[in-house]
């Protein structure tokens, strides 16, 4: 992600983690009484998903008391009881982003000052992101923030297929093999790569992207979830940092393309989403 974006996310992240520590995780004695492990756990995860950056903060604490949120909303005059009765759980949870809203009765040194979650929401919205809260009473709370990749700079492998250039995010690349060192065969009508006694499905990107007169120069191996998949390209031009641009409303969402970038010489290069391409291929095989 762009450094300027990361810097602005620092405070929201700290606030959410402090909430997990202070309000989410119970005392060791209370956790043991509830049959939980004595030590609480807070997980911070960040990953790419298609054309979005996902940040997750999850704890295994007491969760958010929905009824307490409703009670505080009535006390503060934010909503009437009748209106609250008609709201879904998600809508009630969204009230914690209201300026000055807090379910905490006492201010602590860690959090509970009644400010912060509205600032978190403002920061996320400023970057065209979304924030979602899932909670289970007695089980824990999960806060998920998603941002479009268009606000970020990523490192990408620059490749060519036929007469077209493409960018492949480095996080998708596990290994690269030259064509002459690659053992490619066909099993049950599907091309596969044999690598160190492992069989890895092979996808010819030229075929998927309908590009003519392309040769196989390199095979890129990618780890997609719990599966390894290999992809063929013609040439490699090294890796570089690129600014991700959206495709825009005219093109909309294209499966297998997560955006575009403009190179130093002014050319527009599409950014390939290998996970999306795999889903596209699987979908066509199923049909």
Do 54 and 184 sit in the same domain of this protein?
Answer: no
List the structure tokens of 7. Answer: 């810097």
- The CATH number linked to 128 is 3.30.565.10
- The CATH number linked to 200 is 2.30.30.40
Residue 124 backbone dihedrals phi, psi, to 5 degrees: -60, -45
Domain boundary among 123, 150, 177: 150
Highest mean pLDDT among 73-77, 102-106, 124-128, 205-209: 205-209
Do 105 and 240 sit in the same domain of this protein?
Answer: no
Do 188 and 170 sit in the same domain of this protein?
Answer: yes
pLDDT at residue 134, rounded to an integer: 92
Can you tell me which residue has the tokens 């983690």? 17
Do 91 and 157 sit in the same domain of this protein?
Answer: no
Do 158 and 123 sit in the same domain of this protein?
Answer: no
Do 186 and 145 sit in the same domain of this protein?
Answer: no
List the structure tokens of 186. Answer: 């066909």
List the structure tokens of 187. Answer: 């099993």
Do 166 and 199 sit in the same domain of this protein?
Answer: yes
Question: What tens digit of pLDDT does each residue of 252-263 get?
Answer: 667 788 888 998
**Smallest Cα–Cα separation from 238: which of 186, 190, 167?**
167
Can you tell me which residue has the tokens 């890129």? 220
Question: What tens digit of pLDDT does each residue of 55-87 get?
Answer: 999 999 999 999 998 998 888 888 888 888 888
Do 190 and 127 sit in the same domain of this protein?
Answer: no
Domain that holds residue 225: 152-286
pLDDT at residue 98, rounded to an integer: 79
Do 106 and 225 sit in the same domain of this protein?
Answer: no
- Measured CA to CA, the distance from residue 232 to residue 207 in angstroms comes to 10
pLDDT at residue 141, rounded to an integer: 95
Do 157 and 282 sit in the same domain of this protein?
Answer: yes
pLDDT at residue 2, rounded to an integer: 65
Do 29 and 138 sit in the same domain of this protein?
Answer: yes
Domain boundary among 92, 117, 150: 150
Question: What tens digit of pLDDT does each residue of 199-250 get?
Answer: 999 999 999 999 988 899 999 999 876 678 999 999 999 999 888 887 776 6
Mean pLDDT over 136-158 rounds to 85
pLDDT at residue 287, rounded to an integer: 40
pLDDT at residue 269, rounded to an integer: 94
**Smallest Cα–Cα separation from 205: which of 215, 195, 197, 196?**
215
pLDDT at residue 115, rounded to an integer: 46
Do 242 and 116 sit in the same domain of this protein?
Answer: no
- Measured CA to CA, the distance from residue 47 to residue 170 in angstroms comes to 13
**pLDDT above 80 for 282:** no
**Mean of pLDDT over the chain:** 85
Mean pLDDT over 1-5 rounds to 69
Structural domains of the chain, count: 2
Domain boundary among 98, 120, 150: 150
């Amino acid at each position: 992600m762009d450094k300027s974006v990361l810097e602005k996310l620092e405070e929201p992240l700290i606030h959410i983690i402090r909430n997990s520590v202070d309000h989410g995780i119970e005392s060791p004695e209370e956790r043991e009484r509830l049959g939980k492990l004595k030590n609480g756990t807070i997980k911070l995860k960040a990953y790419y998903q298609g054309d979005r950056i996902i940040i997750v903060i999850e704890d295994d604490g007491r969760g958010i008391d929905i009824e307490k949120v409703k009670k505080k909303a009535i006390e503060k005059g934010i909503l009437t009881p009748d209106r609250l009765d008609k709201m879904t759980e998600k809508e009630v949870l969204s009230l914690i982003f209201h300026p000055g809203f807090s379910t905490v009765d006492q201010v602590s040194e860690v959090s509970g000052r009644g400010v912060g979650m509205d600032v978190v929401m403002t920061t996320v919205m400023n970057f065209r992101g979304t924030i979602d809260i899932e909670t289970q009473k007695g089980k824990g709370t999960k806060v998920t923030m998603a941002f479009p990749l268009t606000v970020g700079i990523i490192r990408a492998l620059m490749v060519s297929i036929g007469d077209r250039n493409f960018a492949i995010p480095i996080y998708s690349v596990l290994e690269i093999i030259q064509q002459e060192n690659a053992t490619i065969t066909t099993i049950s009508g599907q091309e596969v790569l044999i690598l160190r006694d492992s069989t890895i499905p092979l996808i010819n990107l030229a075929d998927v992207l309908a590009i003519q007169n392309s040769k196989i120069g390199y095979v890129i191996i990618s780890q997609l979830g719990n599966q390894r998949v290999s992809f063929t390209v013609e040439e490699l031009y090294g890796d570089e940092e690129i600014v991700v641009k959206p495709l825009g409303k005219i093109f909309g969402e294209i499966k297998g393309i997560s955006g575009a970038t403009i190179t130093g010489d002014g050319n527009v290069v599409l950014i390939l989403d290998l996970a999306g391409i795999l889903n596209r291929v699987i979908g066509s095989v199923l049909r």
